[in-house]
Structure 1
Amino acid sequence: MAAGAEMSGEAVPAVPSSKNSDSKSEFGAGMQSMIVDMLSNLKLNPLAKEFFPSSYSHDHLIPTDFSKDSPNDAYPNNRRRRNNYNQGRRRLSGRAFRAQREDSIRRTVYVSDIDQHVTEERLAALFSSCGQVVDCRVCGDPHSVLRFAFVEFADEHGARAALNLGGTMLGYYPVRVLPSKTAILPVNPTFLPRSEDEREMCARTVYCTNIDKKVSQAEVKNFFERACGEVSRLRLLGDHVHSTRIAFVEFAMAESAIVALNCSGLVLGTQPIRVSPSKTPVRPRVPRATLH
């Protein structure tokens, strides 16, 4: 306190020896007055510019309205409000996605015991009598009767009607039809055919999976050309995560693509490949613009 008195130029009053309450009151009032004067002289003002970096303004950090009951009300938490808004949007998007997925499930049936010679087109033709077929996906080993499929309709009425087709002979076996518990994973619409020419390209293209990573693009092309016919375009894809690669093989003739479907199970490199009709065309790569 002596140091504070020297800084302010004020003399510190002596502490009275009397323990009388009036003396205590006078002493307390004197001390309070002295501290106020000292702080004023030292400019210990919370609003003083010395307390803020020069890059900040008073308006940015200090509230101008102190009439709020809660001190937190004077500092609007914009970040919290923004986060709450974004979380609300995510919750809404999540609910919309789940609702759309559940609707797709109600419009989809699960078909099993599919003959290995039955194509997606033939299966879709069977169920088209129940309603408009939106999508049809055949899965499983192409050389086994254990193949299964998912057929999605435009509405729930088509899916309910499709349940009555259980036991229908398709090929050599009667198919089983049950309500689906999953939706068909949609194809990225940006890769779907955009014109009649691209739809014709799809008819000449097959999708090949389980390709040995050691097999080159030239070897894949030679394999299909020897077995099926001229290959006009081929896209071999892979990454460092998956143990095998995939390919889109476009033939010069649609008949060659049909023959290529029979190549499922044949060994290319060290792996038996799987071949199915492609839902997307093999678009020519766009050359990158050269920098000048």
Structure 2
Amino acid sequence: MAAVVDNSDEAMGAVKNNDLVVETAKSESEVFNVQNLVDMFTKLNPLAKEFFPSSYYHDRTKKTDIFNQIPVNKQSDGNENFSNKRGKNNFNQGRRRLNGRGFRAQRDDGIRRTVYVSNIDLTITEEQLASLFSNCGQVVDCRVCGDPHSVLRFAFVEFADEDGARAALNIDGTMLGFYPVRVLPSKTAILPVNPTFLPRSEDEREMCTRTVYCTNIDKKVSQAEVKNFFESTCGEVTCLRLLGDQVHSTRIAFVEFAVAESAILALNCSGMVLGTQPIRVSPSKTPVRPRVTRPTLQ
């Protein structure tokens, strides 16, 4: 075997600089392959990257200090802190996975307690639909939506338990308004509404009956154009809130009319093209509250 440079300190310095000098004493056949020797030292280096979990790299400012605290000998007593760190990190990962499983279980439970209702007459309100299904069990939520491909609408009705959802399937074919409703098991759960946005008084509940929720609005369409669109088709608009962000390619709007009849007519606009996009219109669960103006500092 070839002899490495006698001075070990100089040899280690050369390894760090990837410039190891090897002296041959006998013949060229005994010369070490420098790259293999460097690779060997790298794999045995206790400061190598693979010795550390990914959590150590989140805080770049403390990376160097953490490296200096790790002992060279993995069997030493000082390595207990390192093992605890790994154990804690693995525990957190397991807890995150558990939270994900819990969320999926909660979602699946909501799906089993929900039915999908279609062929809903435009004159039917959410209260009337919930009243129809109240004989099957306790209704905890009812969400009527506009169908852009039909003059009719669809809805999701959620019950307090699965027995109510199974009993609701027997209502399939019942006349509600001018059409027989169709009831099927739901493939999705109802997303909860932020309770701070829900009506807080009788006046706000009355406002909801005059308000529609409009989605898939072209970003190039202005608020004035949205107002003119609904006023020319449905009636006087008393308040309109057009919302959007940089993430979504379209915007949404809450349109409040002077009378509830105009809001019912606005549901017929679902599927009509506004700008370059067909809009979707459904009843609103939240009123359009006036914006709160913050007092300016003097």
Do they superpose with TM above 0.5? yes
How many residue pairs get aligned? The number is 235
| Alignment-derived partner of residue 181 in structure 2 | 175
Q: Deviations over 1:98-155 (max 9, x none)?
A: 2211221121112234445544343322212212222223345256277543211122
Q: Which has the larger radius of gyration?
A: 1
Q: 2:111 touches 2:187 (CA, 8 Å); kept in 1?
A: yes
Cα gap change, 1:262 to 1:176, in 2 (>3 Å): closer
1:198 aligns with 2:204: yes
> Residue in 1 aligned with 2:292?
286
2:76 is equivalent to residue 71 of structure 1: yes
Q: Secondary structure at the match of 1:110?
A: strand
Using the TM superposition, name which of 199-208 and 224-233 deviates more: 224-233
| Separation in structure 1 between the aligned mates of residue 120 and residue 195 of structure 2, nearest angstrom | 28
SS state at 2:86 partner: helix
Q: Which residue of 2 aligns with 1:218?
A: 224
Residue matched to 1:124: 130
Residue 164 (structure 2) aligns with: 158
The aligned runs of 1:7-156 (5 Å cut-off) are 61=69, 70-71=75-76, 74-77=79-82, 78-115=84-121, 118-139=124-145, 141=147, 144=150, 147-156=153-162
- The answer on whether the counterparts of 1:232 and 1:251 sit within 8 Å (CA) in structure 2 is yes
Preserved CA contact (<8 Å) 2:139 2:159: yes
Match of 2:15 in 1: none
RMSD of the TM alignment (CA)?
A: 3.6
* Deviation of the 1:164 alpha carbon: 1.2
Q: 1:276 is matched with which residue?
A: 282
Partners of 2:70 and 2:96 lie apart in 1 by 33
Aligned to 2:30: none
**C-alpha distance 237-153 of structure 1, shift in aligned 2 (>3 A):** same
Distance 2:81 2:108 in 1: 40
**Would you say the 8 A contact 1:233–1:282 is kept in 2?**
yes
- What letter matches 1:189 in structure 2? P
Aligned to 1:44: none
**How many angstroms apart in 1 are the aligned matches of 2:273 and 2:151?**
20
2:148 and 2:125 map into 1 onto residues whose CA distance is: 10
TM superposition score normalised by structure 1: 0.65
User: Match for residue 15 of structure 1?
Assistant: none
User: Helix, strand or coil: the match of 1:236?
Assistant: strand
Q: Name the CA distance, whole Å, in 2 between partners of 1:75 and 1:142.
A: 63
Greater shift in the superposed pair: 181-190 or 72-81: 72-81
Q: Deviations over 1:77-106 (max 9, x none)?
A: 354243233223312322321221122112
- Give the 3-state SS of the residue equivalent to 1:287 in structure 2: coil
Relative to the length of structure 2, the TM-score reads: 0.64
Structure 1: how far apart are the matches of 2:80 and 2:220? 63
Q: Once the two structures are superposed, what CA deviation does each residue of 1:250-286 show, in whole Å capped at 9, x if it has no partner?
A: 2344444334334434444454433221112222223
2:159, 2:165 within 8 Å by CA — same for their partners in 1?
yes
Per-residue CA deviation, residues 199-253 of structure 1 (Å, 9 max, x unaligned), is: 3332222112233333211222233334444433211123445443221012344
Aligned residues of 2:256 and 2:263 also touching (Cα < 8 A): yes
- Cα distance 1:89–1:288, how it changes in 2: closer, same or farther (>3 A)? farther
Measured against aligned partners, the alpha-carbon deviations of 1:178-206 in whole angstroms (never above 9, x if no partner) come to 22232122223333234444333322221
